Chain A
Amino acid sequence: MKIGVVSMRKNIGNLTRKPIPLLLAILAVLLVAIAIFEPWWSTNTSPELQMLSNSTMSINAGLFRTLNVATTNATDGTANAASFGITNATAYLDPIFQPLNADRLDGNLTTAFIFSVANLTVAQQANQIANDTNLTLALVITGFVLAIMMTFLTIMVITRNMPVERYAYLIGVLAVAVLLLAPLQMYNNVAGFSGSLTLDIKDSPWYGQSLATWGPSTGWFLTLAAALVEIVCLLPIRKAYAERRRGLVPGLKMDQSKVVTG
């Protein structure tokens, strides 16, 4: 005969004993929070061009419709940084690119040429991104709120033993969907979202090498990572929900270590 000793634990088993899903949910929330303020699209001079021209350039576009441009020139030791509205890109970028120097490049190719191409590309992309940021920002903030709600409900399950795993799971699924949609729709909606500019002078040893690249940046990747992390924490929550449905009453768990066989 087996006598099961029912231990009146304060908290339910799965999520409480193993709090890793909660930690991952908090990690996902933090990642989205950082992603909101980080650049979502950027263009940078390649290491090859940095070496050849002794200068660097980076342009970052965030979700708040601003472009941040930073340039450095090691030859004369200058560094410039500017921030302006994303729709005014063309007007602002020209004077910033002019001082950059690439004396070591092939005679036929001047820095002005490279950067005017980059300038056009950036301006074109910037306008497209400007049209898209409102939707992306709305999606990310929605995903952020949903992720917070899911984390809050998970905490309620663990600390208050509230039977809300089902809601935590459903809200989590929504959060994942929205957080995945935000970067993917931006990637899809902005034509030429990522690309590169290569050197097109056949006589140069650097022919075909990348001069500048543009594409998704920190915020874009962090949101994608947050969505993936959120998926991982959904699985134990679903398991906890299934256990509760199967009748494993919260707070009443069979403690196998105290089973007496007689």
Chain B
Amino acid sequence: MERQKNTFAIASLAGGILILLNIILIAMNGGPIVLSSSTQSIDALLQNSSPFWFRIAFGIRDYSGSTSLAVGAVLATIIIYLAVTLYESARNAQLFSFLIIVLTAVTLLYGGGFIIGSILAFIGAALMYEEPKKFNQTLMGKMLDSMRASSQIFEHFAQESPVREGAIVILFANLLSGIGNGIFAFNVTKITGAANAVVPFQILYTNRLGLDTSIVQTPVILMGLGILKWVILSLVLFLVAVNLFGNKASLASVATLTGFAYAPVALQVFTPFIFASNPYQTQWSLLVFLLTNLWAAVILIAGMKQIMNVSYTKSAATVISCGGIYTLINYLVLTQVNIPNYIRFQIQPAETMLFLTSIAIALPILFMGSKKASS
């Protein structure tokens, strides 16, 4: 247990050191660290048929002044201090872990220790928060186990069904996804709506990201919608799996699995670290959206297989069929909600979308048959 605690504290410590290093490098560079794929002029990047170009940036320009960086260095040192204190003793573990989490979120403005630093500090602190629980009994441990589709964690969901934790994951994933999407979409709008090259240049080349209070609305609305989507998907999965395909599963275990399957969506918080040339801007966002959602689908397939005790084919068929129904409901109802600073992806025209969802719903049923047909 002591060794486990030390590992968590060391993860936070390593994260804190990386965050401090990131801040020092920004100071040495005289501004955010911007790594681009090639050298292109701003005029070329703003054309509709501009060449493929992207850049990754660590640190926001408005937070790279000497006073801001000095504050950032103090915050990073506090993270290091708290991690060392947690390494020394588990006293006040909850308070110190909570502080590390909050400070890590703030230091994302300074590049978050090349992203890796903030991930390490956050995961270490989140695991430490639930000390002395074992890794796979903590919420963060369960999230990480779900993300690597561990069969043990799905077994745990089938037996104990911690629905409340599933709901927390939904809120957490949508909060982070909302922050990432909000910042990204707000700045893409600023680039595309700019009257001259000044604002696009500053965002693309110097990472002078615009941060507006309207960005706050995005995560709040997404969290509310996330709960609705979770309930809908869980119900659809349960009804199709149990009533249509005749498998055995409890609603609580399906709801828990669905909640934890959303965990990769939290990674969308890192979307604004990368911006691309004009036509590839939305494609980058689409790529993140597709990868995180496909990851969630893979978790669902692996988890449903374990919960229902069926083959991968049957589990995949169930998830695809339910995914079709869920997409349809999402398209008809939830897309009507106006979310500010949000890039929405829809298959157009509507006929194509309806055709594809119909195929996704019908094919598994045709191949596997319903409960009555199979029995």
Interface residues of A (CB under 8 A from B): 14, 18, 20-21, 24, 27, 38, 42, 44, 47-48, 51, 58, 194, 205-206, 209, 213, 215-218, 220-222, 224-225, 228-229, 231-233, 235-236, 239
Report the Cα distance A220→B206, complex, angstroms. Answer: 23
Note all chain A residues with C-beta closer than 8 A to B6. 18
Known contacts: A20-B84, A224-B70, A239-B88. The answer to whether A231 contacts B205 by CB under 8 A is no
Q: Are B85 and A235 in contact (CB under 8 A)?
A: yes
Note all chain B residues with C-beta closer than 8 A to A224. 70, 73
Q: Is residue B224 within 8 Å, beta carbon to beta carbon, of the partner chain?
A: no
Q: Is residue B66 within 8 Å, beta carbon to beta carbon, of the partner chain?
A: yes
Kindly provide the distance from the CB of A141 to the nearest chain B CB, expressed in whole angstroms.
21
Q: Is residue B198 within 8 Å, beta carbon to beta carbon, of the partner chain?
A: yes
Report the Cα distance A231→B77, complex, angstroms. Answer: 9
Known contacts: A218-B28, A221-B73, A224-B70. The answer to whether A48 contacts B201 by CB under 8 A is yes
Note all chain A residues with C-beta closer than 8 A to B80. 24, 229, 232
Closest residue on chain B to residue A194 by CB atoms: B66
6 closest residue pairs by CB, A with B: A228-B77, A221-B27, A205-B196, A218-B28, A215-B66, A232-B81
Interface 0/1 of B72-115, CB less than 8 Å to A: 01101100110011011000000000000000000000000000
Report the Cα distance A24→B85, complex, angstroms. Answer: 13
Give the dominant DSSP class at A's interface: helix
Q: Are B66 and A20 in contact (CB under 8 A)?
A: no
CB-CB contacts below 8 Å: B35-82 with A: 42, 65-66, 69-70, 73-74, 76-77, 80-81
Interface residues of B (CB under 8 A from A): 6, 10, 13, 17, 20, 23-24, 27-28, 30-31, 42, 65-66, 69-70, 73-74, 76-77, 80-81, 84-85, 87-88, 195-198, 201-202, 205-206
Q: Are B198 and A213 in contact (CB under 8 A)?
A: no
Note all chain B residues with C-beta closer than 8 A to A194. 65-66
Note all chain B residues with C-beta closer than 8 A to A232. 77, 80-81, 84
Give the contacting residue for B84; candidates A48, A205, A235; CB below 8 A: A235
Note all chain B residues with C-beta closer than 8 A to A24. 80, 84
17 CB-based A-B contacts, threshold 8 Å: A20-B10, A24-B80, A47-B202, A48-B198, A205-B196, A206-B198, A216-B27, A218-B24, A221-B24, A221-B27, A221-B28, A225-B20, A228-B76, A229-B80, A231-B77, A235-B81, A236-B88
Report the Cα distance A58→B17, complex, angstroms. Answer: 28
Give the contacting residue for B198; candidates A38, A205, A220, A221; CB below 8 A: A205
The residue in B31, B42, B81, B195 that gathers the most chain A C-beta atoms within 10 A of its C-beta is B81
Note all chain B residues with C-beta closer than 8 A to A38. 28
Give the contacting residue for A217; candidates B20, B28, B202; CB below 8 A: B28
Q: Are B198 and A216 in contact (CB under 8 A)?
A: no
Q: Are A20 and B77 in contact (CB under 8 A)?
A: no
Q: Are B205 and A47 in contact (CB under 8 A)?
A: yes
Note all chain B residues with C-beta closer than 8 A to A218. 24, 27-28
Closest residue on chain B to residue A14 by CB atoms: B88
